[in-house]
Amino acid sequence: MSSPTTVRTRVAIIGAGPAGLLLSHLLAESGIESIVIDQRTREDIEHTIRAGILEQGTVELLDGLGEHSRARTVGQRHDGIELRFEGEGHRIDFADLVGRGVWLYPQHEVLKDLIAARLAGGQDLRFEVTADHVEGETTDRPSVHATTADGEQLIIEADFVVGADGSRSVAREVVSGRRTGHFREYPFAWFGILCDAPPSADELIYSNSPDGFALISQRSPDVQRMYFQCDPDVDPNSFSEEQLWDELQVRVPGHELKRGPIFQRDVLRFRSFVASELRKGRVALVGDAAHTVPPTGAKGMNLAAADVSVLHKALRSLLLENDESGVDAYAETALKRIWKGQQFSYWMTSMLHVAPTADDFDRLRQRGELRTVVESRAGQTYLAEAYTGWPLA
Ligand SMILES: Cc1cc2nc3c(=O)[nH]c(=O)nc-3n(C[C@H](O)[C@H](O)[C@H](O)COP(=O)(O)OP(=O)(O)OC[C@H]3O[C@@H](n4cnc5c(N)ncnc54)[C@H](O)[C@@H]3O)c2cc1C
């Protein structure tokens, strides 16, 4: 076997998801060099369908990409959502309640923008390079040991290593141990579809029904994204298209869905997780490497952006001014928002889904909870504040 190639940079970032790419962009703006690696191809990264809602603060961070950010031009601003239960819709008017909004702009489009900006800036972004492990976390020269697509060994030595490598993070191994943290499993999942059809509604509908939850979302004038609550072990191919439409429609009583050919289907399992540590020495975790949330509150990608905004400032102080205080405070600062995001995601999930073990008491109490929100300005305001995102630190 040939000897490894060693390269040196200031910040080595594992993962070219929203967290890793946004961090590399902010660092470049501050004049700090970084190398980003990802085990996947550019094609795969730019075409994997995941999250779709950007908080206002996330869009403001992406504005820094200049001409490369299309969130405001191609994405659509939404000023509210509908909460639906007992066959009736109730609009939560974000603009009126908190003067903020969200943008419907899919994660893979955000990634296309971030990759384009990084490559246009001549920055180092390497696809099909897999991090095997991280070393030297308690020294001032941590390193990432990786393997390229053609089997070459690569060592990236850095002043700081960031694990932005998603829920199966290898960087987590040295920060907190791969599986140590706070977990919550859920007895249901989301069945997601993409279809060729006109929008069934102008804004997102979050619907609770006796048959379970559904989310009616949009992608473009001709393509729609919708989800319904399902068993986590369901086989995505076990339904005909007609059955899928019937499953969706029964969960949105009183609102007729516009049907069309379904061209993608997937099952998204739910899990809440927060790693026991977010930093050890000169290695830190951001985004899904540090925490995951169920998708009901649309917080996954937005929490990743918020972590990055905190860590970017900390790294600027460390690497430009030799001031360690921001890095020392990173976990404590980031965790405050992470746990607020966990609470909101858990709350939306439990308020809207029907647990397989739910009895009449549970169902009636749930309706009482939904009424508490829609019939009170204070209840609506909490939802609007959390959904549009608390201002970034
Ligand atoms: C299947 C799926 C569907 C989702 N759907 C929704 C949704 O509908 N709504 C919602 O709000 N949220 C959703 N989420 C959550 C949201 O997409 C994530 O919170 C968001 O992607 C987090 O960004 P990240 O950059 O932290 O991690 P990721 O986007 O996971 O990026 C991590 C990157 O690291 C790379 N990587 C991993 N290990 C290595 C390694 N060893 N070496 C090199 N590279 C590595 C991966 O290839 C990946 O590109 C979904 C998540 C998943 C997994």
Active site annotation includes 4: no
Beta strand pairing call for 283-285 and 160-163 = parallel
Q: Which of 25, 68, 78, 353 is catalytic?
A: 78
The helix (H) or strand (E) run that includes residue 80 is strand 80-85
Q: Rounded to the nearest whole angstrom, what is the distance from the C-alpha of residue 202 to the centroid of ligand 1?
A: 27
The per-residue pLDDT for 1 is 61
> What pLDDT score does 51 carry?
87
Q: Is the CB of 101 under 6 A from ligand 1?
A: no
Given ligand 1 and candidates 50, 109, 190, which is best to mutate, with the most ligand atoms within 8 Å of its CB? 50
Q: Whose C-alpha lies nearest to ligand 1, atom 21?
A: 301
**pLDDT, tens digit (0-9, with 9 covering 90-100), for 17-57:** 999 999 999 999 999 999 999 999 999 999 998 989 999 99
Structure-block tokens of residue 21: 């790419």
Identified catalytic residue from 105, 106, 142, 206 = 206
Q: Domain ranges in the chain? A: 5-78+102-182+272-348, 184-270+354-388
Is 35's C-beta closer than 6 angstroms to any atom of ligand 1?
A: no
Q: Measured between alpha carbons, how far is 297 from 190 in angstroms, rounded to an integer?
A: 13
Listing DSSP states for 301-323 in one string gives HHHHHHHHHHHHHHHHHHHHH--
Class of domain 184-270+354-388: alpha beta
CA distance 205 to 203: 6
Task: Find the 7 Cα to ligand 1 centroid distance in Å.
Answer: 26
Question: For 5-78+102-182+272-348, which CATH superfamily applies?
Answer: FAD/NAD(P)-binding domain (3.50.50.60)
Counting atoms of ligand 1 from 1, which one is nearest the CA of 132? Answer: 41
> Best of 107, 168, 217, 387 to mutate for ligand 1, by most ligand atoms within 8 A of CB?
107
Q: Is 55 in the pocket of ligand 1 (CB under 6 A)?
A: no
Ligand 1 atom closest to 300 (CA): 19
Radius of gyration of the chain (CA): 21
For this structure, is 387 an active site residue?
yes
- Ligand 1 and 61: CB distance under 6 A: no
Closest residue by Cα to residue 75 from 50, 90, 56, 94:
56
Q: Three-class SS of residue 215?
A: strand
In the chain, which stretches have pLDDT less than 50?
A: none
Number of CB atoms found within 10 A of residue 87's CB:
11
Quick one: which atom of ligand 1 is closest to the CA of 48?
Answer: 1
Q: What is the pLDDT of residue 228?
A: 98
d(CA 300, CA 344): 12
